Structure 1
């Protein structure tokens, strides 16, 4: 069963564009815009790479489970990736490589399947 979308894709793409435009202008995106952009890109990741072996967390806005493999039902998942919202958006659109973010301490990743490098980006910045 494909993951359920909570964010309308059109609204999500608009929020992503607005958030990136704010960042490019040196401003902080509005919280609601940032939240919608994060949720949209996480949902896009879950649609493209369904599964339950990796939990991707972008607090305080959302978390999704992705990647085929062992699924967890309670407690800590077998693999966890966590980052802040602005780093996630840069990863999601390909402005930042996963390995660079991880090496720079901007992403915390643990577990056997926690390398998302081959799964990113999930959308282009202008979409």
Structure 2
């Protein structure tokens, strides 16, 4: 099991990503990875379960939302997005309706859109 990211570490990484992006720079990979994993961790705490898989390659994935457990192959309900899109959705800078269907976010399965009701996380 991965080490739990503390609130201080997570918020510091989000700030570092925000500062780099605001300045027109590319965020440090370590900061981006920590921010993504921290926000995925918060999502898993907010909506424990196994019926929707949220993927943010290459940094992480979690299964969330109560319902039938998925055990083999590709889950029937998958949300996959870029790291920047995930951070923006999770902290409330963009909305699900603006992001879904774009190249930056794909959602498949009848339960995938349930993620929208869980956002933003507002750490």
Check if 1:17 corresponds to 2:20.
no
TM-score (norm. length: structure 1): 0.89
Separation in structure 1 between the aligned mates of residue 79 and residue 3 of structure 2, nearest angstrom? 20
Aligned residues between the structures: 122
Check if 1:73 corresponds to 2:71.
yes
Conserved 8 A contact 1:79-1:114: yes
TM-score (norm. length: structure 2): 0.92
Separation in structure 2 between the aligned mates of residue 53 and residue 4 of structure 1, nearest angstrom? 21
**Aligned equivalent of 1:108:** 106
Q: 1:20-67 CA distances to partner (integer Å, 9 max, x unpaired)? A: 121122111100000000000000000001110000000000000110
Cα distance change on mapping 1:5 and 1:120 into 2, 3 Å = farther
**Aligned equivalent of 1:118:** 117
Separation in structure 1 between the aligned mates of residue 3 and residue 108 of structure 2, nearest angstrom? 26
Check if 1:43 corresponds to 2:77.
no
Secondary structure of 1:45's aligned partner: helix
Once the 2 structures are TM-superposed, how far is the Cα of residue 4 of structure 1 from its aligned partner? 7.1
Separation in structure 2 between the aligned mates of residue 68 and residue 103 of structure 1, nearest angstrom? 24
Once the 2 structures are TM-superposed, how far is the Cα of residue 106 of structure 1 from its aligned partner? 1.9
Separation in structure 1 between the aligned mates of residue 59 and residue 89 of structure 2, nearest angstrom? 16
Separation in structure 2 between the aligned mates of residue 121 and residue 25 of structure 1, nearest angstrom? 24
For the aligned residues, what is the CA RMSD?
1.6
Q: Which runs of 5+ in 1 are unaligned?
A: none
Cα distance change on mapping 1:5 and 1:114 into 2, 3 Å = farther
Secondary structure of 1:37's aligned partner: helix
